[in-house]
Structure 1
Amino acid sequence: MVMVAEGEVLWQAPPDRIAGLNLTRYLEKLATKGLHFDGYADLHRWSVSDLPAFWSSVADHFNLMFDGTPTAIVTADPMPRTRWFTDTHANYAEHVLRHETSGDPGRTMLHHGSELRPMATASWAGIAGATRRLATRMRQMGIGPGDRVVAYMPNLPETVIAMLATTAIGATWSSAAPEFGAQTVIDRFAQIEPKLVLAVNGYRYGGKDFDRSADLGRILGALPTAEHLILLDYLPGAAAPETRIPVTSWEEALSGPDVPREAFRYTRVPSDHPLWVLFTSGTTGLPKPIVHGHHGILLEHYKTAAFHFEIQQGGALFFYSTTGWMVWNTLMWGPLMNGRAVLYDGHPAFPDANLLWRIADQTDTTVLGVSPTYIQIVRQQGIEPGRSFGLTALQSVMLVGSPSTPETFDWVHRTVKRDVWVSSQSGGTEFCSGLLAGSPLLPTRAGEIQAAALGVDAVALDEAGKPVVGEVGELVIRQPMPSMPLCFWGDGDFARYTASYFETWPGLWHHGDRVRFTATGGAHVLGRSDATLNRFGIRIGSAEIYRTMESIPQVADSLVLCIEDGRGGFWMPLFVQLAPGETLTDDLKATINRRLKTERSPRHVPDEIIAAPEIPVTLTGKKMEVPVRKLMMGVPLGKVASRDATRNPAALDWFAALAATRA
């Protein structure tokens, strides 16, 4: 593997690309109003020093449609009570679908496919028309503003239609992927007491069929407020769920007459009205129900889609995602920009890891979002996408979901496309967007997130609460953002919200990531705070160890922990999942230790290297460092992680058994 120096400049946008950027056009518009900025850093300083002016300019630039005049662009209330564009009313779905007639209504809005369906397209007229029909049926069912509508559905056009119809009438949306087990779904949906449920009867993943009718019946039985079920017959031959709730087929729900665009009324709602409820990953404890609003999400999503993903009009965004991950809620960035979205339901590497590249090529994807974990699979299979596919439309590859190594950046440039913009971005479910992002105005540096996003006052604080640069600290947001949660559902006094993010430094959002900012404004996310490694009083991030481990061919995956012994000491084991046919010999252990010592530091050398059959990861592919750490500290398996939120539950069982031998 080619080793690349961290921070090495790998790419700089040529002048013609800079001239065509959304951000360039925005800067030109600001200049007509007497606002001139010398590059991204200067613009960012203004965006966090004058929040009302910056966010007003975003609303104006994208022509957000409001009823009323804002009493305040941003209120003086401290986080988490800050509110935006007060006394105005807006609707999220209305903005997504307003481009129906901005060109041929028959042009493509969605590309979609699955292991059960071949790739196909859906037009703007088709999606918008279906949304209006379903929204009208929902109103006839008695669903209105504030009612909760939940979906147990995959990443399909029907799910997009359901989400848009729900939000179009002012109801509140939430979704869970059908691979979630019944209890995982109940833990989420029962908290918000839905009135309408949409679901599939099953799905196919990795070539295997999964009938979900029994789980669906159990879920419905645990939702006493549910009055209606709309069922999509997605998996052929799956059984019908047993339920007391009236069942309407998807076809019947959309069987009403067409509703002309001019005759349909979107329900515009206040800025504190709930748009959707997203949930934390559920790896520990009951998932937190995070409530977002129409106004905040619109402002943040327009800004991010245009300025940090640079989705152009007519472009296509392809994020591999399930409906249980906040990334699914960002797929409409494409249509918001009068472009397209690409949906895929199925295993991302079945029948092989060429799949996502093949889809990107077929759909003329311009912005591709994948996880570094997926890139690792592609590399291990020896795939070089640029040799197999044209990818002529591809402009950007976004690495999201976990920290990305310098070698991953370099691999994309060498094997996918030389002139592609590679960007690592970091955000969270809490914002349904990014905190640390990028821009083609800036150079791409190996392994580095380019900058804090516009409007995001992000800093690293040391243990004394002092901002630091060039040192590892806690990621903190010092000023409010429009897409910060309105609240946690049911947390009327903000007690749980405050305890989650504002307890460490009152008045400042403590995100829970360890981060290091560079002198040039870039950032390196080093992992979650509570998974930080403590070696002889020095804190180090797990990402540094994983970078070295990824370059050792005998190791397929790894997980490192630091366990306090209660006597002021620490035990740092490194668990390795070996590549097929490999064994953990003394020679391999010596190689790992030598590489870590020379490439990192003596502090990075583990106390013990242990072969594990598999490394446990969440459904979105994140290593389960925190739950495994708690297992090793004696916490019972049932209290540290939900099996249904784990992609490979048997891996957790192995670690639980190991922990029992250490008790």
Structure 2
Amino acid sequence: MSNTEQSPVVWSPSEDTLKHCHMGRFQGWLEQHGFGPFADYHSLHQWSIENLETFWQKVWDYCGLVCETPADKVLGKREMPGAEWFPGMRLNFAANLLRLAEGKHADSEAVVAYCETRPVLRRTYAQLKADTGALEAFLRNKGIQQGDRVAGVVTNGYEALVGMLAATSLGAIWSSASPDFGVGAILDRFGQIEPAALIVVNGYGYGGKVFNRQADFSGLIDGLPTLRCVVSIEQLPGEPAIGGDKVTHWDDALAEGQGQAPSFTPLPPEHPVYILYSSGTTGKPKCIVHGNAGLLVNHAKELMLHGDVGPDDRFLYFTTCGWMMWNWQASAL
């Protein structure tokens, strides 16, 4: 086969699938609102390029994203770096991810978490919201404020979601690493962001083996002098928790804040939500900051329009919390 030849198409969606998937419904919804008509996906794509601001506003509207204060316009400054999303808007990232906690989906399963060391855990949207509010209240009681960094050395499970949602609800910034990282690799990352709070497992299981990390992570706490509190997750039931004067067990932290609703603090569109990191292959990992509105609308586009994810679907991406795919997966809420 020459370089110009293409292999035969092995599968194409049916016309019915194209019409009823999110992308097809988005196209029809646009046409109902006076845009188009679009002959096919390629014409829709071309329209999105030529009508950038209209496209992103319609993605926001179609995906049902919410804000406290609407934007003055979609794009302020267009220069890169420095492009400005939705100037004038006030919104909360966690409020959007937990919007199904109200209404008919409140008692539907939001999370089904499997791991090798604990029973399967199932939580509804209402339970997820309640635990988010409880943990946020605990963090506030420990002095965590808007703009502080909350770091997690956590597995891809329920507690990671609650930690992220609690942090972003109050306006703190979430950053996570995988518990299979060495302490030096974690300090290379978190040492740059000076976290005020740490959520950490006491170990993990993988491939039929158990990895105790209590001593290692006690050393990690010592290496982060800016910490005001630490929450220890019993990822290894029956094994010792992480020790230290700043440490509160996960269940105790939730009990302390039980009954408190998430604040969903309204924030500017550029307010940081996540700090991620480069790979660290050419020196220490470099911090990569992701902001509120741009991250939200792009994740919605990718997951809902391209991924066709909806409220009644199950979604799995096999990843650790040290990779950006976890942050992307979390937006499936």
User: What band does the TM-score fall into relative to the shorter chain?
Assistant: over 0.9
| Equivalent residue number for residue 7 of structure 2 | 7
| Equivalent residue number for residue 141 of structure 2 | 140
Check the 8 A contact 1:150/1:174 in 2, yes or no: yes
Query: Once the 2 structures are TM-superposed, how far is the Cα of residue 271 of structure 1 from its aligned partner?
Result: 1.2
- Asked whether 1:212 is paired with 2:213, we answer yes
| Equivalent residue number for residue 285 of structure 2 | 287
Structure 1: distance between partners of 2:8 and 2:215: 53
Secondary structure at 1:139's aligned position in 2?
Answer: helix
Check the 8 A contact 2:118/2:235 in 1, yes or no: no
Structure 1 pair 176–82 and aligned structure 2 pair: CA distance change class (3 A): same
Structure 1: distance between partners of 2:77 and 2:331: 30
AA of the residue aligned to 1:43: L
Structure 1 pair 257–150 and aligned structure 2 pair: CA distance change class (3 A): closer
Structure 2: distance between partners of 1:240 and 1:312: 38
Query: Once the 2 structures are TM-superposed, how far is the Cα of residue 265 of structure 1 from its aligned partner?
Result: 2.4
Task: Tell me how large the CA RMSD over aligned residues is.
Answer: 1.8
AA of the residue aligned to 2:285: P
| Equivalent residue number for residue 273 of structure 1 | 271
| Equivalent residue number for residue 229 of structure 1 | 230
- Asked whether 1:98 is paired with 2:91, we answer no
Secondary structure at 1:322's aligned position in 2?
Answer: coil
Describe how 1:49-68 pairs up with structure 2 within 5 A: 49-68=50-69
| Equivalent residue number for residue 620 of structure 1 | none
Structure 2: distance between partners of 1:248 and 1:209: 23
Residues 69-99 of structure 1: per-residue CA shift (max 9 Å, x gap): 4233112341010110011111111011111
Instruction: Calculate the TM-score normalised by the size of structure 1.
Output: 0.48
AA of the residue aligned to 2:21: L
Secondary structure at 2:10's aligned position in 1?
Answer: strand
Answer 1 or 2: which has greater helix percent: 2
| Equivalent residue number for residue 47 of structure 1 | 48
Check the 8 A contact 1:315/1:334 in 2, yes or no: no
Query: Once the 2 structures are TM-superposed, how far is the Cα of residue 24 of structure 1 from its aligned partner?
Result: 1.3
Structure 1: distance between partners of 2:80 and 2:100: 34
Number of equivalenced pairs:
328
Question: Which residue, 316, 319, 326 being the options, matches 2:317?
Answer: 319
Check the 8 A contact 2:136/2:257 in 1, yes or no: no
Question: Which residue, 301, 304, 328 being the options, matches 2:299?
Answer: 301
Describe how 1:322-333 pairs up with structure 2 within 5 A: 322-333=320-331
Secondary structure at 2:316's aligned position in 1?
Answer: strand
Query: Once the 2 structures are TM-superposed, how far is the Cα of residue 239 of structure 1 from its aligned partner?
Result: 4.1
Secondary structure at 2:236's aligned position in 1?
Answer: coil
Describe how 1:433-448 pairs up with structure 2 within 5 A: none
Query: Once the 2 structures are TM-superposed, how far is the Cα of residue 104 of structure 1 from its aligned partner?
Result: 4.7
Structure 1 pair 323–204 and aligned structure 2 pair: CA distance change class (3 A): same
Query: Once the 2 structures are TM-superposed, how far is the Cα of residue 117 of structure 1 from its aligned partner?
Result: 2.0
Check the 8 A contact 2:218/2:242 in 1, yes or no: yes
- Asked whether 1:128 is paired with 2:103, we answer no
Residues 412-446 of structure 1: per-residue CA shift (max 9 Å, x gap): xxxxxxxxxxxxxxxxxxxxxxxxxxxxxxxxxxx
Structure 1 pair 69–104 and aligned structure 2 pair: CA distance change class (3 A): closer
Check the 8 A contact 1:51/1:74 in 2, yes or no: no
Structure 2: distance between partners of 1:257 and 1:70: 33
Structure 1 pair 257–198 and aligned structure 2 pair: CA distance change class (3 A): closer
Structure 1: distance between partners of 2:117 and 2:281: 29
| Equivalent residue number for residue 308 of structure 2 | 310
Please say which structure displays the higher CA radius of gyration. 1
Secondary structure at 1:256's aligned position in 2?
Answer: helix
Answer 1 or 2: which has greater strand percent: 1
- Asked whether 1:29 is paired with 2:29, we answer yes
Structure 1 pair 6–218 and aligned structure 2 pair: CA distance change class (3 A): farther
Structure 1: distance between partners of 2:331 and 2:315: 7
| Equivalent residue number for residue 19 of structure 1 | 19
Q: Which has the higher contact order (CA 8 A, sep 6+)?
A: 2
| Equivalent residue number for residue 180 of structure 2 | 179
AA of the residue aligned to 2:90: H
Q: What stretches of structure 1 of length at least 5 have no aligned partner?
A: 336-663
Structure 2: distance between partners of 1:122 and 1:241: 25
Describe how 1:642-661 pairs up with structure 2 within 5 A: none
Describe how 1:274-423 pairs up with structure 2 within 5 A: 274-335=272-333
Describe how 1:431-510 pairs up with structure 2 within 5 A: none
Structure 1: distance between partners of 2:175 and 2:320: 13
Structure 1: distance between partners of 2:311 and 2:143: 37
Query: Once the 2 structures are TM-superposed, how far is the Cα of residue 124 of structure 1 from its aligned partner?
Result: 1.3
Check the 8 A contact 1:110/1:121 in 2, yes or no: yes
Q: What stretches of structure 2 of length at least 5 have no aligned partner?
A: none
- Asked whether 1:193 is paired with 2:203, we answer no
Check the 8 A contact 1:316/1:334 in 2, yes or no: no
Structure 1 pair 242–284 and aligned structure 2 pair: CA distance change class (3 A): farther
Check the 8 A contact 2:76/2:84 in 1, yes or no: yes
Residues 306-326 of structure 1: per-residue CA shift (max 9 Å, x gap): 111111330011111111111
| Equivalent residue number for residue 255 of structure 1 | 255
Query: Once the 2 structures are TM-superposed, how far is the Cα of residue 305 of structure 1 from its aligned partner?
Result: 0.7
Check the 8 A contact 1:211/1:239 in 2, yes or no: no
Structure 2: distance between partners of 1:173 and 1:197: 10
Residues 363-388 of structure 1: per-residue CA shift (max 9 Å, x gap): xxxxxxxxxxxxxxxxxxxxxxxxxx
Structure 1 pair 42–328 and aligned structure 2 pair: CA distance change class (3 A): same
Structure 2: distance between partners of 1:135 and 1:240: 22
Structure 1: distance between partners of 2:119 and 2:16: 37
Residues 589-629 of structure 1: per-residue CA shift (max 9 Å, x gap): xxxxxxxxxxxxxxxxxxxxxxxxxxxxxxxxxxxxxxxxx
Query: Once the 2 structures are TM-superposed, how far is the Cα of residue 223 of structure 1 from its aligned partner?
Result: 1.1
Check the 8 A contact 1:213/1:239 in 2, yes or no: yes
Secondary structure at 2:84's aligned position in 1?
Answer: coil
Instruction: Calculate the TM-score normalised by the size of structure 2.
Output: 0.93
